[in-house]
A and B are shown apart, each in its own frame.
Chain A
Amino acid sequence: MKKTVLFALLLLFTAVGIFSCQKTTGDDAPTPDTSLDRKALLTQWADSLVKPGYQRFNDKLAALKTKTTAFTAAPTTATLVEARQAWQAAYLEWQKVELFEFGPAESVSLRNHFNIYPADVTGINRNITTGSYDFEVATAIPQQGFPTLDYLLNGVASGDAAIVQQYVSSANHRRYLTDVVAKMDQTFGTVYGQWTGSYRDTFVNNAGTDASSSLSRVINAYSLYFERYLRAGKVGIPAGTMSGTPRPEKIEAYYLKGALPLQLATTAHTTVQQFFNGRTGRPSLKSYLDALGAKDSRTGQSLTSIINTQFGVSYQQLSSLGPDLFTTITARNADAVTSYNEMQKAVRLIKVDMTSALGITVTYVDNDGD
């Protein structure tokens, strides 16, 4: 009787053994364990991307605070120009960290405090007049952050002299500008403080693949950023892909216009690409996917090369929208729509193909796997 069992088991293991041996010597090269180390990947992200990125942004934000303080203390064309330059530098640096909306940034809704546009000018002016406002309420989201600073430094009046005059004559304007920057400083301080504190270890040690794991959160934030805040926010919505009518006034940095809006978008796009590829020889999404052997099983082409090719096409099309995004949106709307479509192709590779290959779970609810 026992023999039957043993025979069955023997049969089973030989069958499994034979088959698997055949396969390992076949098309599938054995993968080195180290490159599929998610903890190493998270460590790389925390120590070489998020923390240094936040540090650089923190410096720019401090400079912004200094320059706007100088401007409100003594509003002149010179101090205005300096404040504006500091704002531009910080805004560009922001594009390199906005995608880190997970962990501390997610819990304080950092993006809501920093970069939701178009700015609510009516609300801002009401705040300035009444002098009472609470930046934590939902309606106040478009009344703060970089888009509001765009209006305050570039749009409250036409021409630098008139803008300066506005701040000279109105204490409320000076106060609002100070408060907006102070709020940004305070909110970001909380987030940065957590990363330099205990959150870094929490992040690195949550190395699973379920819906609450660091990897899942990062991928979720990454693809959401690319889809909603880069593809749709910076190009799609102004180009009218959502509503059918171009709305150029919905671009980022609308009150300054010129080269900056496109520069912000291309910086964001480069950041998305660099986040994917990382540095040569260091853990990255690319190295992890390559170690998984992720490829299109129809053609055998590696997923990372497909993604990088599309990133290239998408970046090319986006940078062709210069020199002035505001003008291009109406003058060459079709180009803007093409840019949106190319980004959409990349979004799908990230959101669908990459997420699927990583095997991460997107919901907590039980599922049979389909």
Chain B
Amino acid sequence: MGEGLRRYFLADTSAAPLATFRVAFGVLVLASVVRFWAKGWIAELYLKPKFFFPYYGFEWVRPLGLYTYGLFVVCGLCALLVALGWWYRTAALGLFLSFTYIELMDKSTYLNHYYFVSLAAFLLVLLPAGRFFSVDAHLDPARWRSQVPRWTVDALRLLVGVVYCYAGLAKLNSDWLGHAMPLRIWLPAKNDLWLVGPLFNHVWVAYAFSWFGAFYDLTVPFFLLYRPTRAWAYAAVVVFHVLTAVLFPIGMFPYVMIVAALVFFPADAHLRALTRLRRWVLRTPVAPRLAQPLVYAPRTKQALLLVLGTFFVVQLLLPFRYLLYPRELFWTEEGYRFSWRVMLMEKMGQVQFKVVDGQTGRARLVNNDEHLSVLQEKMMSTQPDMLVQFAHYLRAYYARRGVQQPKVYADAYVSLNGRLGKSFIDPTVDLAQASDDLRPKSWILPFDDEISGL
């Protein structure tokens, strides 16, 4: 066993899978940035709102006004450089930092696939993906390496595998499997889809989709790893993600996953694809070269393995942090993000804030839309940590306008996966005094139901 492990960490493999991943990933992130810009979302999400919801510990990360456009330029440029493999290490670091900064600016835009992009970009900073099929290696042939340690490629496979498996584990709950929620709500809304639409009116289809979805997420990395099933599994990846792209407003996520799953293909497939791409771009035949393995200095290798090891331990544990909170995860959303919980809830809410002058007792109601975008209000109304952040903003806002010791109360109403809506948080608790941290929030009212499962 120990011997096997030792041999594993000494084994080399072709650098081609890293290179294809780098190119495809860079192109996709660039496309995401362009798409985001073209849809006018930079202005709508980061310039127009008067208030932003920061992440705990990252309160200093804020939109940069008009310079936010510059941030997106940097991000897109780094993505392009990563794809080209030009100034690779710097570009990968720039991509990781700029993309992550963008995502940290406002919680209301949180998407699991953005988180995936950040994590993959982080791995790319560490991995030797710029040594093969890159402008860097072309300009300085001494840097060219055709073989890399096997664990560098497997790190990406592990990340993709974790995403799928954890997304599958998250589906093992009574709402998803036992009640076909929320697909049962979402599918009939798409019943005008060509050919398959009418099927969505039947409840059994929602069940079939739910069960297949859970099975797919839990098993697809293994089918992708196993040579005989690989082609089938990849076909399933494409079909599955194209279907989700058609059905749900999840943006680039399906395409990111379709591309990321390519990393499971063996080196020769990548090599063939890259050779074809090279011939198509450069229109010159490729001169065969002697294989050149990348060998890390022992210190470097140790440090890299240590960082990667820590990274994956955190990745494996983080989604289970919800166990530290006493109450229903879907209701309180304590420990919900960064856990590959995708498309699990149809949760909708409405919240009415009331600001009371601590001295005169005079009360006034708040128009949320005077302060927040449609997206922000939608996201805030079902997420307690955002409610308390907005309450603190209101405290400061009304204090500036002469209200003495403002008390902020919220009357929130939330429905979850087809359950009739109910009061979400205690309307008698002054949220201006409630703390915004990671401890369980006692002012969230009980869910009065149970969702069993992981």
Q: Residues of B contacting A4 with CB < 8 Å?
A: 226, 228-229
Contact A361 B249 (CB under 8 A): yes
Contact A244 B346 (CB under 8 A): no
User: B140: shortest Cβ distance to chain A, in Å?
Assistant: 40
Partner of B189, one of A16, A33, A359, A368: A359
Chain B residues in contact with chain A, CB under 8 A?
A: 39, 41, 44-45, 109-112, 179-182, 185-186, 188-192, 198, 201-205, 207-208, 211-212, 215, 219, 223, 226, 228-229, 232, 248-253, 333, 336, 341-350, 362-365, 374-375, 378-379, 382-383, 413-415, 417-421, 448-449
Q: Residues of B contacting A1 with CB < 8 Å?
A: 228
Asked, given contacts A15-B215, A352-B349, A355-B348, whether A244 binds B415 with beta carbons under 8 Å apart, the answer is no
Q: Residues of B contacting A33 with CB < 8 Å?
A: 191, 198, 201
In the complex the two chains form, what is the Cα distance from A360 to B378 in whole Å? 13
In the complex the two chains form, what is the Cα distance from A296 to B346 in whole Å? 14
In the complex the two chains form, what is the Cα distance from A36 to B350 in whole Å? 26
Which residues of A1-41 are within 8 A (CB) of B?
1-2, 4-5, 8-9, 12, 15-16, 19-21, 23-24, 28, 30-31, 33, 36, 38-39
Contact B414 A352 (CB under 8 A): yes
10 A–B contacts, CB within 8 A, in A order: A5-B228, A8-B223, A292-B185, A297-B420, A351-B350, A356-B347, A364-B249, A365-B249, A366-B249, A367-B250
In addition to A5-B228, A36-B188, A296-B419, 9 A-B residue pairs with Cβ atoms within 8 Å of each other are A12-B212, A20-B207, A24-B203, A208-B192, A209-B189, A298-B448, A366-B250, A368-B112, A368-B341
Asked, given contacts A8-B229, A363-B378, whether A242 binds B201 with beta carbons under 8 Å apart, the answer is no
Q: Residues of B contacting A19 with CB < 8 Å?
A: 207-208, 211
Total residue contacts A-B, CB cutoff 8 A: 168
User: B3: shortest Cβ distance to chain A, in Å?
Assistant: 30
Which residues of A38-76 are within 8 A (CB) of B?
38-39
Partner of B364, one of A244, A301, A364: A244
Asked, given contacts A357-B418, A359-B188, whether A369 binds B202 with beta carbons under 8 Å apart, the answer is no
Q: Residues of B contacting A9 with CB < 8 Å?
A: 232
Contact A359 B415 (CB under 8 A): no
Q: Residues of A contacting B179 with CB < 8 Å?
A: 297
Closest residue on chain B to residue A292 by CB atoms: B188
The 6 closest A-B pairs by CB, nearest first: A359-B189, A366-B251, A296-B420, A1-B228, A20-B204, A209-B189
In the complex the two chains form, what is the Cα distance from A38 to B198 in whole Å? 12
Closest residue on chain A to residue B366 by CB atoms: A242
Partner of A353, one of B336, B343, B415: B415
Q: Residues of A contacting B415 with CB < 8 Å?
A: 352-353, 356
Q: Residues of B contacting A16 with CB < 8 Å?
A: 207-208, 211-212
Contact B211 A15 (CB under 8 A): yes
Q: Residues of B contacting A355 with CB < 8 Å?
A: 348
In the complex the two chains form, what is the Cα distance from A106 to B18 in whole Å? 52
Contact A368 B365 (CB under 8 A): no
A325 at interface, CB cutoff 8 A = no
Which residues of A193-217 are within 8 A (CB) of B?
207-210
Asked, given contacts A20-B207, A28-B203, A352-B348, whether A365 binds B382 with beta carbons under 8 Å apart, the answer is no
A259 at interface, CB cutoff 8 A = no
